[in-house]
Amino acid sequence: MANYSEAHICQCLSRLATARRNSTVTINGDRRKTGMQFVDGVLSLAHGLLQLGIKPGDVVSVSALNSDLYLEWMLAITYVGGIVAPLNYRWSLEEAKSAMEVARPVLLVTDSNPGYWHSKFQIDSIPYLRWHVIMDSVKANSNETIFATELHKKPTGKSVTLDYLWAPERAAIICFTSGTTGRPKGATLSHSALVMQSLAKIAIVRYDEDDVYLHTAPLCHIGGISSAMTMLMAGGCHVIIPKFDATLASDAIMKHRVTSLITVPTMMADLISVNRKKQASEKFESVKRILNGGGGLSVELISDATKIFPKATLLSAYGMTEACSSITFTTLYDPTKENHFNQPSNVKKSTTLSDQGGICVGKAAPHVELRVITEESFSTGRILMRGPHAMLHYWGQSPLVHEGWLDTGDIGQMDEEGNLWLVGRAKDRIKSGGENVYPEEVESVISQHPGISKIVVVGVPDSRLTEMVIGCVQLNESWRWGDFGINHSPEDKFQFLSSEILRQFCKENNLTGFKIPKKFVLWKNTFPLTTTGKLRRDQVRAEVMSHTQVLSSKL
């Protein structure tokens, strides 16, 4: 018999059907739904899934752009004990098939948007798929396709009721990590993990039912999933755009008086760029809270963000898919406090770097235990985590734990105040002259130079040092590369950078000598990224080594 006191993400539906019964909870273009309408959509779809033949433990994959229908499907699948396996719509068809080989879904749900892998998908190419549903179309285009309107079923009698079910292990979602190499892995997340993550965000970010939340992150990523679940639990209003676009997002913020959203650094930079020329009266004063993830914000981005969002508390989170999103939180800026910019006591005023190296990512969420395993006399080590937020395992694999702790794969240290300082990824570590160099630490220093737009640090084989530290740089528009000794005329409108200038800048910012790049490469093309926006550092390294990338020069 099921224990209904256990966490289930569909428990949020009770509040939406009562406290938010007649209030708008989703805005998707011209389509608005009240709490009761949204709940009815979930329940009727759940009945249809049962009649179709979905059983507890069945995996259902979804590939679609963000919409209110996507939210309904995620809840309906888990309501009947299914496990949702979101697939990235930006993948190639082969990548999607590779992920489905891991998850082995019995049903694939897609939307009708053209131009993505699911628009050219054929069900017979995946042998274990039994059904394919198009969530937003009513016209058949093949005999193998079922349409969502056929699945939205009502109970057949007044006495018929339906209560939510659980999959084995209380699994709710298989969320694929993009990784930086190899095939995607499916982090299996429980109902409890998603609920605990939501409660932590409600407590720390302070979401509530008065929030109007703009979906900027895709619902196939853990950031988008966990924030959506948080807002469903808080009972706020969801403003949904198909995918992030800075102009579209800006218009939605103004039109719907958005109060909260999440960003990654590239999103924040795009929002700032689009809105830099707006008048003060057009600033986004409705926004009260912004949670940043996917990498730290530079000092310049924080400063610019406070001008665009003058009344918003700006927070940052460090997390990962395997942790069901956020592990630690820190407040970067709070307009309600006298000291607006929040910094730990051992942070330099000019940067978020500590004297020992590393970036402060804040304190652990209430449900998270952190531990740093150090070697010998070093203060830094591998970051381990433990708690109900951790994934059950990668789908189809055994748990990767160390005495009950999950290894994050990151290197860092803890200070006396309980702040976690992130140094870098263990797999990205450069061994140079017998010393450990973490690229993220070096990048954090160099990125502060006003002439640098982007910096990627890699290690390449070297007969003397084992690995040589190389800095790949992109310059801001008004800057040019030139030898340090070249004389430029006073009329020259450009400012100039060189290897020597950057190395001296590193020294002035107390970067240890062996960490300073021995060479710099001017990188003119965009840096390679995964489909989830993560840097392909391995590819940068390979291109530097092979010289196949078109580089302007070695510096």
pLDDT in tens, 55-94: 999 999 999 999 999 999 999 999 999 999 999 998 888 8
Extract the tokens encoding 102. 């891991």
Residue 277 amino acid letter: K
pLDDT of residue 66: 98
- pLDDT-based confidence at residue 553 (cuts at 50, 70, 90): very low
What CA–CA distance (Å, rounded) separates 32 from 22? 11
What CA–CA distance (Å, rounded) separates 138 from 131? 16
**Cα separation of the two ends of the chain:** 68
Half-sphere exposure of 135 (CA within 13 A, CB side): 27
Per-residue DSSP letters for 210-274?
A: T-EEEE-S-TTSHHHHHHHHHHHHHT-EEEE-SS--HHHHHHHHHHHT--EEEE-HHHHHHHHHH
| Residue 385 CA from chain centroid, whole number | 19
Fold exhibited by the domain 430-554:
GMP Synthetase; Chain A, domain 3 (3.30.300)
Half-sphere exposure of 137 (CA within 13 A, CB side): 17
Contacts of residue 47, Cβ cutoff 8 Å, sequence gap at least 6: 153, 154, 155, 162
What CA–CA distance (Å, rounded) separates 258 from 211? 8
Q: pLDDT digit string (tens) for 476-534?
A: 988 999 754 444 554 555 689 999 999 999 999 888 899 999 999 999 888 988 766 67
Fold exhibited by the domain 9-196:
Rossmann fold (3.40.50)
- pLDDT-based confidence at residue 54 (cuts at 50, 70, 90): very high
Beta bridge partners of 425: 410
Domain definitions of the chain by residue range: 9-196, 430-554
Q: Which has the closest alpha carbon to 368: 326, 416, 403, 401? A: 326
Q: pLDDT digit string (tens) for 180-208?
A: 445 678 999 999 999 999 999 999 999 99
Over residues 252-281, the mean pLDDT reads: 87
pLDDT of residue 547: 60
pTM as predicted:
0.84
Conformational region of residue 439, where left means phi above 0, alpha means psi within -120 to 50, and beta covers everything else: alpha
Please give the backbone phi and psi of residue 546, each rounded to the nearest 5 degrees, phi first.
-90, -15
Mapped onto helix, strand or coil, the DSSP state of residue 492 is coil
Q: Is the pLDDT of residue 344 over 60?
A: no
- pLDDT-based confidence at residue 551 (cuts at 50, 70, 90): very low
Contact (Cβ atoms closer than 8 angstroms) between residue 316 and residue 292: yes
Q: pLDDT digit string (tens) for 127-179?
A: 899 999 999 875 544 555 776 777 776 554 443 468 999 999 999 999 998 65
- pLDDT-based confidence at residue 256 (cuts at 50, 70, 90): very high
Please give the backbone phi and psi of residue 149, each rounded to the nearest 5 degrees, phi first.
-60, -30
Residue 515 DSSP symbol: G
pLDDT of residue 172: 98
